[in-house]
Chains A and B, each alone.
Chain A
């Protein structure tokens, strides 16, 4: 009666570029200078946009939103690996991915400013709107992946969520369904180590998020989430495997939320500044900038130019956003059903009559 080992596993962590911008050439993903420059520009734009959004929120011109500063390496790096024919199913902390996928900044502001019309993507952009309930949207990615596979498309789905979401039951169901039906889905966890005030060790006793993949029969890998090359490399590979019919994968981007959870949060209530400062030194944009300077892809003047260009683009978008008219009252009822039902038509008409002073 021997005891046999049925399964054993190891979890790998991938780092390509260190804090100083030095890369391991053997792990460096294939990216042209132009693509690296484009990646840098989107990351800088995302940072500038995020900072401007904070100011708008503090001035009362924007509602509550979740900041992304410090996590550009993770979500922008992942979205950068997508092709047009792929889908993205986001959570709510992926502003840079929205911009990268073709969402206009003014529409992003429109949504977070309280006008749902800002959720409409340009025609052909394969992305779902932000999902506010934590950890329930990954099932949509699994079903969408099934649909792409069933149609015979060579496309994959990238879904993004935080480590807090991995405690939700729907995370387990999504991972399981995707694996059982071998759906082309990449589950991308931005493990920023804080779910509002709850640190990772209180969220889970698993050493890594990545290892959770093993329980569902799919590969799981951790990457340095502030190393945009490591993220891009891992996500590109996983997406390509998915497109090729090899099924889903889980990638954990080990990163950190240097900001508050949302604009309504004050993180100083529950964590030490020293920890935050330590992570600020691992900033993903500065790291990429150092790499580019070392490799002749960027100089100080270029750095300033990229920043100024981003500031200009954001200013333009904010101007467009601020000139937007609020939605007309009819919009309240316009898209509840494909065709308005009699009870809703009656409620709409009652509101409109009142607004017209008829009642």
Chain B
């Protein structure tokens, strides 16, 4: 089995799905000859031509709005937004149109499309290239929000997202893009949208994250186990919308403790929703308050202060110990 990084896994998922289904169209800024600024669409232009791998004008709302029309017209567009920091001109198209067409036409007009984009910090990037604003998408009814944590997950979830009959926003953690390689099957496969994944089983506390910070909490859990401090269960949420409360709640009922880790600003972040779900469904099982480890409610800092902003393995380990000692 080939060892791929996330960029290669996503590229392969796109290529295989385009081979399988002629209606899948990739569009976005620099996705064609250039293969995308992160090379995620590398080789697609050569294989499928400019009609199916479309370099678009530099206009995010245009890309998404145009893709909505393509989808209503019978195609399955996969639109790339170069960085999530530039998606906001298209937020209106996503919220006001893509997510609403099925409801307002009572199922007569539908928008099976994917909007994929790199997001998140930890890559020492310039301004507007480190945001983690997934919660403002999870708040939109009619939209699915998928966030893979590693190359294997990325391939299976993206394939599922393209086949999904509804609009999906697919956030790709930029810091994971080339950070890890792992075995990814050559054949196509899908992973379920709407199901969280228990990455590591444990009995004392549940750590919950998505995207790049699944690795953070996994490392924290392994360190705590190695130090014989405690046995932590690790959950990768995978899709924050629809959110799989059942898997998280079952875990917390077992462990009695929960910490949610995300790099997005704490207030109104998706961690708040998860915390509320746990309180509503498992409060009597709790041995300690549910905790959030999150980014500060600040503009994401530039590189010199970034390490203070991002949740770290050390911080997670300390907070787990504090919760265990509550």
A residues bordering B, Cβ < 8 Å?
Answer: 89, 116-117, 119-121, 128-129, 131, 133, 136-137, 139-148, 150-151, 169-170, 173-174, 176-177, 180-181, 334-339, 341-344
B70 near A342 (CB under 8 angstroms)?
no
B66 near A121 (CB under 8 angstroms)?
no
**8 Å CB contacts to A: which residues of B131-172?**
141-142, 144, 165-166
Tell me if B309 counts as interface (CB < 8 A to partner A). no
- Nearest CB of B to A351, in Å: 15
Q: How far is the CA of A333 from the CA of B248 in the complex (A)?
A: 24
Taking CB atoms, residues of chain B closer than 8 Å to A143 are 65-73, 77
Q: What would 10 A/B residue contacts be, using CB atoms closer than 8 Å?
A: A120-B106, A136-B61, A136-B92, A170-B93, A174-B66, A176-B62, A336-B141, A337-B144, A337-B166, A341-B242
Tell me if B105 counts as interface (CB < 8 A to partner A). yes
Query: Provided the pairs A117-B106, A142-B66, A335-B107 are in contact, do residues A180 and B57 lie with their beta carbons within 8 angstroms?
Result: yes
Query: Provided the pairs A139-B66, A341-B194 are in contact, do residues A177 and B103 lie with their beta carbons within 8 angstroms?
Result: no
Q: How far is the CA of A120 from the CA of B102 in the complex (A)?
A: 11
A136 near B245 (CB under 8 angstroms)?
no
Taking CB atoms, residues of chain A closer than 8 Å to B64 are 139
Q: How far is the CA of A167 from the CA of B102 in the complex (A)?
A: 28
Other-chain contact of B242, A121, A146, A343 (Cβ < 8 Å): A343
B106 near A145 (CB under 8 angstroms)?
no
- Nearest CB of A to B82, in Å: 16
B166 near A173 (CB under 8 angstroms)?
no
Other-chain contact of A343, B74, B165, B245 (Cβ < 8 Å): B245
Query: Provided the pairs A136-B97, A146-B70, A336-B141 are in contact, do residues A173 and B105 lie with their beta carbons within 8 angstroms?
Result: no
Q: How far is the CA of A288 from the CA of B202 in the complex (A)?
A: 80
Q: Beyond the given A128-B105, A176-B57, A338-B107, please list 7 additional residue pairs across the A-B interface where CB-CB is below 8 A.
A: A119-B104, A147-B74, A147-B75, A170-B92, A173-B66, A174-B65, A341-B242
Tell me if B108 counts as interface (CB < 8 A to partner A). yes
- Nearest CB of B to A165, in Å: 13
- Nearest CB of B to A106, in Å: 15
B106 near A173 (CB under 8 angstroms)?
no
Point out which of A129, A133, A335 has the most chain B C-beta atoms below 10 A from its C-beta.
A335
Question: Inter-chain contact count A-B, CB under 8 Å?
Answer: 137
A144 near B70 (CB under 8 angstroms)?
yes
Tell me if B254 counts as interface (CB < 8 A to partner A). no
- Nearest CB of A to B184, in Å: 28
- Nearest CB of B to A121, in Å: 7
Query: Provided the pairs A170-B62, A337-B142, A338-B110 are in contact, do residues A141 and B104 lie with their beta carbons within 8 angstroms?
Result: no
| Residue tally, chain B, CB below 8 Å to A | 45
Q: How far is the CA of A77 from the CA of B69 in the complex (A)?
A: 24
Tell me if B109 counts as interface (CB < 8 A to partner A). yes
A116 near B69 (CB under 8 angstroms)?
no
Which A residue sits closest to B144, measured CB to CB?
A337
Other-chain contact of A336, B67, B75, B108, B142 (Cβ < 8 Å): B142
Other-chain contact of A338, B51, B57, B166, B194 (Cβ < 8 Å): B166
Q: How far is the CA of A141 from the CA of B73 in the complex (A)?
A: 10
Q: How far is the CA of A146 from the CA of B67 in the complex (A)?
A: 10
Q: How far is the CA of A338 from the CA of B103 in the complex (A)?
A: 10
Q: How far is the CA of A148 from the CA of B141 in the complex (A)?
A: 29
A129 near B104 (CB under 8 angstroms)?
yes
Which A residue sits closest to B92, measured CB to CB?
A136
Taking CB atoms, residues of chain B closer than 8 Å to A150 are 51, 75
B103 near A142 (CB under 8 angstroms)?
no
Q: How far is the CA of A169 from the CA of B66 in the complex (A)?
A: 14
Taking CB atoms, residues of chain A closer than 8 Å to B268 are none
Query: Provided the pairs A147-B73, A335-B102, A336-B141 are in contact, do residues A137 and B66 lie with their beta carbons within 8 angstroms?
Result: no
Point out which of A119, A146, A336, A339 has the most chain B C-beta atoms below 10 A from its C-beta.
A146
Other-chain contact of B74, A139, A151, A181, A334 (Cβ < 8 Å): A151
Taking CB atoms, residues of chain B closer than 8 Å to A116 are 103-104, 106
Q: How far is the CA of A121 from the CA of B108 in the complex (A)?
A: 8
- Nearest CB of B to A64, in Å: 16
Taking CB atoms, residues of chain A closer than 8 Å to B107 are 334-335, 338
Taking CB atoms, residues of chain B closer than 8 Å to A339 are 165
Tell me if B312 counts as interface (CB < 8 A to partner A). no
Taking CB atoms, residues of chain A closer than 8 Å to B199 are none
